[in-house]
Structure 1
Amino acid sequence: MDQPYLGEGEQQQEQPQEMSFVDHLEELRWHIIRSLGSILVFATAAFLAKGFVFHDIILAPSRPDFLSYRFMCDVGKWIGSDALCIQELGFTIQSRQMSGQLSMHLMVSLVLGLACAFPYAFWEIWRFIKPGLYPQEQKSSRGAVFWVSILFAMGMLFGYYVVSPISINFLAGYQVDPSIVNEFDLTSYISTLTTLCLTCAFMFELPVIVFFLTKAGLLSPETMKLYRRHSIVAILVIAAIITPPDVISQLLIAMPLVLLYEVSISVSKSIIKRDLKRLNENNS
């Protein structure tokens, strides 16, 4: 049966129209607005839940009954030593500025809003980027939002439950002279806690970064193996910067990063192998 004739206007409607540069900017603007909106929603919820957020989350690592300290004590008892049990943390937290508590309340709300809304915000940005990829690239990057979100959450939890308690405990107990009392400002305490957590969260994204750099042809497993020693030194330097100057803290944050680096090498290797296999199939 003959197909009905489509007029010129109808044929243009059938064909997908390319978006102009202004249209792309408009679409990006709405993705960014929705991302910022999600952060604002979670930040507002965190702001309203002030008591829970500060007592049970932010100030929890400053008390001896924190989960990480109790776990360390249980490990110490299991090995027959009470040295790991923390009875008290030798510091107090004060607010020495008129607007100190309000500004920290706002900052903490924004940080928690970013942390909670990160999966959705990244999904919004990914929705804008994904149509610009080739079909094969879209297929190979399937699950990007899931893995980015999982690694971000793992990094945040690692920073909160491992790095932050060790750092706070070390800095609280460090004294150059017994006559000096540790009285930390609220701004200093919260800035240290949020910096450690966010730094760990973004550093845990290393395998995803390596994935995209390998897909772009800017990185290879051979290059990562060649500079493995240099990377380990760089990781130790980063660990020394963001943790107190004691070996245990530095190793606790350096070891997961070294492990992530080795995982990233495997990720890069699998991508190269997959691309070579696909290229051979197309040539045959």
Structure 2
Amino acid sequence: MEDQEMKLVDHLDELRKRLLITMVAFIIFFIFAFIFVKDIYNWLVMGLDPYSITLVILGPSEVLWVYFTIAGILAIACTIPILALQIWLFVKPALKPIERKITLSYIPALFILFILGLCFGYFVILDVVFGFLTNLGEEMFDTMFTAEKYFQFVLTMTIPFAILFELPVVVMFLTSIGIINPYVLQKVRKYAYFVLVIISVTISPPDFISDFLVTIPLLFLYECSIILSKIVYKKKQKKEERDQVDMLSNEVAK
């Protein structure tokens, strides 16, 4: 009983250490991003030039909100590899040597897919949806956006994709450690599709074109996740079969 309590305390200490390292990394990246937030802001609002739209603010607090939002998103993106590494180090003792090598390779993939998701949301989905909505009310309204509302819209169109683009790597990782397999993913496909459609309708503006543009990439990501899960699962099975054959050979040799 005492040994179990000691192990639990050790695990909690290790978890606290990993979380602390992640938080320190986030704070460092946040400070660095905050220093260059004006340059990042100017780059982000360049997409408004074709629409001749100037952002306005309704109060001093909105300036601070924009600063913290931009710096926070950049800090989160940069912290993802650190967080993934800390998670890997935390579960490392429970993994086999081959699993350690495989799962370690997923860390850069998490960062790359997060950035790809942001880029896809910003350069593809945001551009189409923003253009559509702006043209829709062009002859009816004098267009004027506050900085807060605009960046809330940008976050809605980009962050969900950045997170959902991580799905293939997460599925591969869970498959490699035996938590899920591709056959389970295929079995729950219709339920997963339903959830993804709900997510798409929720995060996209209320029109068919936007819903379609958001839904198709998410369904494609799910199918890619199944394919990648199959590849990992088959390699895992072959490795286990080879280990069993080697074990039997060693027993026969003895």
For normalisation by structure 1, the TM-score amounts to: 0.74
Find the partner of 1:245 among 195, 206, 210. Answer: 206
Moved more, 127-136 or 160-169: 127-136
Larger radius of gyration: 1
Equivalent residues in 2 for 1:41-190 (5 A)?
41-57=28-44, 59-64=45-50, 88=51, 91-175=53-137, 178-190=139-151
Letter in 2 for 1:203: L
Give how far 1:143 is off: 0.3
CA contact (8 A) 2:200 2:215 kept: yes
Q: Residues 29 and 220 of structure 1: is their aligned pair in 2 closer, same or farther, counting only changes over 3 Å? A: closer
Can you list the C-alpha shifts for 1:82-124, whole angstroms capped at 9, x where unaligned? xxxxxx25x5422113311112212221111111232233223
Q: Residues 178 and 125 of structure 1: is their aligned pair in 2 closer, same or farther, counting only changes over 3 Å? A: same
CA contact (8 A) 1:235 1:257 kept: yes
Q: Residues 116 and 240 of structure 1: is their aligned pair in 2 closer, same or farther, counting only changes over 3 Å? A: same
Letter in 1 for 2:160: T
Q: Residues 31 and 226 of structure 1: is their aligned pair in 2 closer, same or farther, counting only changes over 3 Å? A: closer
- Could you say which residue in structure 2 is the equivalent of 1:266? 227
Q: Residues 120 and 142 of structure 1: is their aligned pair in 2 closer, same or farther, counting only changes over 3 Å? A: closer
Find the partner of 1:279 among 227, 230, 240. Answer: 240
Q: Structure 2 CA distance, aligned partners of 1:136 and 1:272?
A: 14
CA contact (8 A) 1:32 1:125 kept: no
Equivalent residues in 2 for 1:194-273 (5 A)?
194-215=155-176, 217-273=178-234
Moved more, 48-57 or 218-227: 218-227
Q: Structure 1 CA distance, aligned partners of 2:65 and 2:243?
A: 59
CA contact (8 A) 2:103 2:176 kept: no
SS in 1 for 2:60: coil
Gaps of 5+ in 1: 1-18, 65-87
Q: Structure 1 CA distance, aligned partners of 2:207 and 2:69?
A: 29
Aligned length: 240
Give how far 1:133 is off: 2.0
Can you list the C-alpha shifts for 1:6-55, whole angstroms capped at 9, x where unaligned? xxxxxxxxxxxxx8433433333232222222222222122122321111
Instruction: Check if 1:38 corresponds to 2:8.
Output: no
Q: Structure 2 CA distance, aligned partners of 1:44 and 1:37?
A: 11
Q: Structure 2 CA distance, aligned partners of 1:200 and 1:31?
A: 26
Give how far 1:159 is off: 1.3
Q: Structure 1 CA distance, aligned partners of 2:88 and 2:179?
A: 21
Q: Structure 2 CA distance, aligned partners of 1:118 and 1:142?
A: 14
CA contact (8 A) 2:80 2:110 kept: no
CA contact (8 A) 1:163 1:243 kept: no
SS in 2 for 1:252: helix
Identity %: 30
Gaps of 5+ in 2: 1-5, 246-254
SS in 2 for 1:113: helix
- Could you say which residue in structure 2 is the equivalent of 1:83? none
More helix by share: 2
- Could you say which residue in structure 2 is the equivalent of 1:14? none
SS in 2 for 1:219: coil
Can you list the C-alpha shifts for 1:168-214, whole angstroms capped at 9, x where unaligned? 22232333x94533322221111221232221111001112222333
Letter in 1 for 2:163: F
Moved more, 227-236 or 267-276: 227-236
Q: Residues 23 and 235 of structure 1: is their aligned pair in 2 closer, same or farther, counting only changes over 3 Å? A: closer
For normalisation by structure 2, the TM-score amounts to: 0.81
Q: Structure 2 CA distance, aligned partners of 1:188 and 1:160?
A: 16
Letter in 2 for 1:224: L
